[in-house]
Structure 1
Amino acid sequence: MTDNSRDLIQRVARGIQASQTTSATPPGPSEAKSGALPEAHIEAINQVFALFRLNYHNQYYAAFPDAEQLKQIKKLWLDSLRDYPVEQILRGARHAIENSEYLPTLHRMHKCCQEGLAELGLPSTNAAYLEACQAPSPKSAQRWSHPAVYWAGRDSGWYFLSNHPERQTRPVFEQHYQSYCERVMRGETLSIPKDRSLEQHKAEPLPREEQLKRLKKLREETGL
């Protein structure tokens, strides 16, 4: 990996959310799924392809010789990778560049995004969700694979995770977990609190009014 590539990746990682620049072939809006994508995700895909062009020059132009074809491929990648946080997409691209001399396929890029998390000790979203749902109490006394899993579970609500169906709990947990993963990827260190009074030790239901309030919020957030 060249020094120029490292500098570019670092600049992207620091400034992606504030950046307003786009490549000569923007991916445009996703057509396969409804809902607008954040500008940061569009920019991230542009930056990923810019990094690939820099590092896999000949392979890149052999794979994407046509500008219109490249635009459609970017749309496909944007739609397929849309559920990853921006930092995870960029880390996945860096992982691909540092570990292979071949231009990655979309399938390989998904693996690189997961492997990029593993490099920081973060489990996959699915593994983290199962760990949080199955963890016994007291939660802070358990051997968590990473503190991000604990915090995502706590923010989701231990009672909520253990007493509601997966179709309701998984979207909520994933939202919290991705948020903590982003913080870790930005360099923040998380730790599990020693003060167990911060936890919900007893699986006691919330008052009915609060349950209805949370259910309404959940439906608004997930569209269920």
Structure 2
Amino acid sequence: MFEPGLVDAINQVFSEFAFAYHNQFHKAYPDQATINIGKEYWLSCLAEFSPGQITRAARKLVKSSEYLPTVAALVKFCESGLELFGLPSPRSAYLEACRAPSPKAAFNWSHPAVYQAGKASDWFILATEPEAVAFPIFDYNYQQICQRVMHGEEFAVTPPPALGDRHGRKLSAAERREKMRKLREQVGL
């Protein structure tokens, strides 16, 4: 019915809540039957979110709430989940992508998802089109990539290889003349 990771996430959330809000938790869930019903209810309400998203949101909620959270509070934290994963807002990500210098892969991105969204949106479009045209394209790609990040996919930016030393040693005059002779032969001079 539900993916096993989701069940584990709800179990972890309930364990954290029981530890962090001991008395309140045991008032709301006095016995194992009530806990099981509560877990099933929370599971059905949170099924659209990834296990990582749920556990991160629960941890953030525990750190910021004095009282036992409701399922609505956890849903709200999950929905505003970008910051839970270190992702900037779509607008901030768009501005970062537009302002990043080339080579793009060498830039120090706030999150690899910003680079991936810029790449998917086409750097040329971001550089040449007005925001009214470019931002919706970027926003769509960024939202797709953010969903993938929140479901556990990891992205990396591979920096371009550094240019090597192509001029090993200087050629002597005789070696230069020989190379020129071979070059003239190749081009027919």
TM-score category, normalised to shorter length: 0.5 to 0.7
Q: Are 2:4 and 1:39 equivalent residues in the alignment?
A: yes
Residues 148 and 60 of structure 1: CA distance in aligned 2, closer, same or farther (over 3 Å): same
Q: What's the CA shift for 1:52?
A: 0.6
Deviations 1:115-148 (A, max 9, x none): 664155314xxx64x889x89x979769x87431
Q: Are 2:34 and 1:65 equivalent residues in the alignment?
A: no
Q: Are 2:66 and 1:97 equivalent residues in the alignment?
A: no
TM-score by length of 2: 0.53
* 8 Å contact kept, 1:140–1:192: no
Please list every run of 5 or more consecutive structure 2 residues that lacks an aligned counterpart in the other structure.
123-132, 134-139, 162-189
CA distance in structure 2 between the partners assigned to 1:116 and 1:177 by the alignment:
9
CA distance in structure 2 between the partners assigned to 1:192 and 1:148 by the alignment:
13
CA distance in structure 2 between the partners assigned to 1:80 and 1:131 by the alignment:
30
CA distance in structure 2 between the partners assigned to 1:79 and 1:111 by the alignment:
15
| Paired AA for residue 27 in structure 2 | A
Residues 66 and 176 of structure 1: CA distance in aligned 2, closer, same or farther (over 3 Å): same
Q: What's the CA shift for 1:174?
A: 5.5
Q: What's the CA shift for 1:64?
A: 1.6
Deviations 1:12-37 (A, max 9, x none): xxxxxxxxxxxxxxxxx4xxxxxxx2
1:85 aligns with one of 50, 56, 64: 50
Determine what percentage of the aligned residue pairs are the same residue.
36
Judge which range, 42-51 or 70-79, deviates more. 70-79
CA distance in structure 2 between the partners assigned to 1:71 and 1:191 by the alignment:
43
Q: Decide which structure has greater helix share.
A: 2
Residues 193 and 177 of structure 1: CA distance in aligned 2, closer, same or farther (over 3 Å): farther
Alignment: residue pair count? 144
RCO higher in structure (CA 8 A, sep ≥6): 2
What CA RMSD, in Å, does the superposition of the two structures yield over aligned residues?
A: 4.2
Residues 145 and 191 of structure 1: CA distance in aligned 2, closer, same or farther (over 3 Å): same
Q: Are 2:116 and 1:147 equivalent residues in the alignment?
A: no
* 8 Å contact kept, 1:77–1:106: yes
